[in-house]
């Protein structure tokens, strides 16, 4: 796979010219019924309504040319086939394949990367046996009782994606099963989760690829201590999801072990054992396979080269149009579904850890914008919080709305002629129109400028299958953008410096005395900061 600099593409020059006079949504004829009908992309159970973006046919044509010129689908296929793309040429880097798609390419008789898919099938078979043993009374606690709760202990990609998926699908939990999560090294996080648990009927799923993650190992020790204080043997209550041969790959310390692999990055790992063990415990194996099937459907659909028929590719290019050509620095992802309350948090990591890069794949400084700031909260709550800024503020914030025509539980009531779900969807669609069209008013306080680009991604219902599809849509949107910007979306060196300095500060705290003198024989910067922060 060879990608050139973003600024060198011929289509970039054309888009730059088009961006000088982008489509005006709030002028007469700027947003018509015909436009809403025409600007729709449908795939894998989702409809993307994008007539409220500041684009026209000329922009779409140029975006298609950019996708073709940059070889975005070819790069995506190279990723799926196992080409080593997690690297920066000529510099020390992870130098790995990127194969999160292989974890769900388990339905094909001819998978893209047979070896990694075979490993995924082996782990799925192991998971199925583990879940069967829980159901059949083979795995029980010391009193012969079944386990009712699983607590996932992990951070970053070992928490955000799995937690977002569990919260999205918890209405599908098996009777008598639940899941909780501990991530933050803040001891209050663990204390709050542990304080009301029946530890004797709880399994703790410790998730760390390296087996050395500081926050996770610290929280694991808190869990082990709590179990011992309760008179329980930790090895009967702890399971591990880790890299093969890591320090955590130890059957003497864990009831069961599942493997995660170097070629699946943490933020892309929710459909590997990182997410599926806890999801399988809470939802059951069949629901796990539905999640994988939904994601796999999008993995296949994302191979489509026509941007008007490829939702993740179209989302990626619309994002590039808004960010690189219209100059908007952020994007808000606003799900009108309370079940997706943590999905924006997952996307913050998945997008900003992936595309928050300032060097190319050749190690040169970029001269164009890369990843935007991603943020969001569920509607309608957000309408009573930050929507004031996105409607009338000086910062234009492109918005991606996500909604579902039907509720999950089906428990609803008709009030004043409409159900709560209909009110929820009406609010989402109204916000889309209001952002696009604005409102003229002689009173400047009540003037809405409009021309706030947005799109609506909508499906019938949030189910395991559609959740898997939604996850994959955004994973691929992020990857397509990284390919286009010629950056490595699959490493995360930006988190390493802080870890190094945190360990340095911890060494000073643990020593209880100065470890080294500064250049002038006085305190080091680290020691001075600790002193001023009031740390012992």
pLDDT by residue (tens digit) across 234-268?
999 999 999 999 999 999 999 999 999 999 999 99
Query: pLDDT for 51-97, tens place per residue?
Result: 999 999 999 999 999 999 999 999 999 999 999 999 999 999 999 99
In the predicted model, is pLDDT for residue 517 greater than 60?
Answer: no
Query: What is the mean predicted confidence (pLDDT) over 118-135?
Result: 98
pLDDT on residue 518: 46
Q: Token pair of 332, please? A: 């808000």
Give tens-digit pLDDT for 145-200: 999 999 999 999 999 999 999 999 999 999 999 999 999 999 999 999 999 999 99
Q: Quickly count: other Cβ atoms within 10 Å of residue 4's Cβ.
A: 14
DSSP string across 87-109: --TTS----B---GGGGGTTS-S
Confidence of residue 512 (pLDDT cuts 50, 70, 90): confident
469, pLDDT greater than 50? yes
pLDDT tens-digit series, residues 423-447: 999 999 999 999 999 999 999 999 9
- The span from the CA of 299 to the CA of 504, in Å, is 42
Q: Which residue has the tokens 């809470």?
A: 282
Rg (CA), the chain: 25
Express as a percent the part of the chain with pLDDT over 90. Answer: 94
3-state secondary structure at position 411: coil
pLDDT of residue 173: 98
User: Which residues does the annotation mark as catalytic?
Assistant: 353, 384, 499
Q: Rounded distance, CA 359 to CA 356, Å?
A: 10
Greater confidence (360 vs 522) lies with 360
Task: Note the pLDDT tens digit of each residue in 132-145.
Answer: 999 999 999 999 99
For residue 245, what are its two tokens? 């041969």
Model confidence at 470: pLDDT above 80: yes
pTM of the model: 0.96
Q: The dihedral of CA 454, 459, 460, 462: what is its sign?
A: negative
Instruction: Tell me the pLDDT tens digit for each residue of 15-36.
Output: 999 999 999 999 999 999 999 9
Question: Is a pLDDT exceeding 90 seen at residue 2?
Answer: no
Q: For position 523, what pLDDT does the model report?
A: 83
The predicted-structure confidence for 288-316, as pLDDT tens digits, reads as follows 999 999 999 999 999 999 999 999 999 99
Tokens standing for 442?
């002689």
> What does 157-224 look like in DSSP terms, one character per residue?
GGTHHHHHHHHHHGGGPPTT-EEEEE--SSHHHHHHHHTT--GGGEEEEEEESSS--HHHHHHHHHHH
Please list, in sequence order, all residues whose beta carbon lies within 8 angstroms of the beta carbon of residue 302, skipping any fewer than 6 positions away. Answer: 73, 76, 310, 312, 313, 472, 476
The predicted structure's pLDDT at residue 521: 56
The pLDDT tens digits for 324-338 are 999 999 999 999 999
């Amino acid at each position: 796979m060879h990608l050139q600099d973003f600024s060198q593409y011929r289509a970039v020059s054309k888009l730059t010219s088009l961006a000088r006079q982008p489509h005006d949504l709030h002028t007469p004829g700027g947003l018509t019924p015909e436009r809403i009908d025409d600007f729709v992309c449908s795939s894998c159970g989702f409809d993307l309504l994008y007539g409220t973006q500041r684009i026209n046919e000329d922009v779409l044509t140029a975006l298609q040319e950019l996708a073709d010129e940059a070889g975005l689908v070819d790069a995506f296929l190279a990723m799926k086939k196992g080409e080593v793309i997690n690297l920066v040429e000529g510099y020390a880097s992870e130098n790995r394949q990127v194969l999160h798609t292989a974890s769900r390419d388990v339905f094909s008789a001819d998978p893209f990367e047979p070896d990694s898919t075979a490993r995924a099938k082996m782990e799925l078979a192991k998971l199925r046996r583990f879940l069967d043993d829980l159901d059949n009374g083979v795995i029980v606690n010391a009193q012969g009782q079944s386990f009712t709760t699983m607590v996932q202990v992990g951070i970053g990609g070992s928490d955000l994606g799995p937690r977002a998926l569990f919260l999205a699908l918890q209405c599908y939990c098996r009777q008598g099963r639940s899941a909780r999560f501990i991530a933050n090294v803040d001891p209050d996080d663990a204390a709050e989760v542990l304080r009301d648990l029946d530890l004797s009927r709880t399994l703790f799923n410790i998730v760390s690829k390296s087996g050395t993650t500081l926050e996770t190992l610290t929280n694991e020790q808190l869990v082990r201590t709590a179990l011992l204080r309760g008179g329980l043997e930790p090895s009967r209550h702890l399971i591990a999801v880790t890299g093969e041969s890591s320090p955590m790959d130890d059957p003497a310390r864990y009831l069961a072990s599942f493997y995660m692999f170097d070629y699946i990055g943490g933020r892309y790992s929710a459909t590997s054992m990182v997410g599926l063990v806890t999801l399988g415990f809470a939802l059951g194996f069949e629901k796990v396979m539905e999640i994988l099937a939904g994601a796999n459907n999008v993995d296949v659909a994302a191979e489509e080269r026509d941007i008007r028929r490829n939702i993740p590719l179209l989302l990626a290019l619309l994002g590039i149009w808004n960010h690189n050509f219209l100059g908007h620095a952020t994007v808000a992802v606003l799900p009108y579904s309370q079940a997706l309350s943590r999905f924006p948090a997952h996307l913050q990591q998945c997008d900003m850890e992936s595309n928050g890069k300032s060097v190319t794949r050749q190690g040169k400084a970029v001269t164009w914008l890369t990843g935007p700031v991603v943020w969001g909260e569920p509607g309608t709550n957000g309408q009573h919080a930050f929507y004031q800024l996105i409607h009338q503020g000086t910062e234009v914030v492109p918005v991606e709305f996500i909604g579902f025509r039907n509720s999950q539980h089906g428990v609803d009531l008709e009030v004043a002629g409409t159900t709560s779900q209909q009110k929820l969807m009406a609010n989402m669609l109204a916000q889309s129109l209001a952002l696009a069209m604005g409102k003229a008013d002689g009173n400047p306080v009540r003037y809405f400028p409009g021309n706030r680009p947005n799109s609506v991604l909508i499906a019938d219902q949030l189910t395991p299958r559609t959740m898997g599809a939604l996850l994959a849509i955004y994973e691929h949107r992020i990857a397509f953008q990284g390919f286009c910007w010629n950056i490595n979306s699959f490493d995360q060196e930006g988190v390493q410096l802080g870890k190094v300095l945190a360990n340095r500060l911890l060494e000073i705290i643990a020593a209880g005395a100065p470890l080294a003198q500064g250049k002038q024989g006085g305190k080091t910067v680290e020691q001075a900061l600790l002193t001023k922060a009031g740390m012992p």
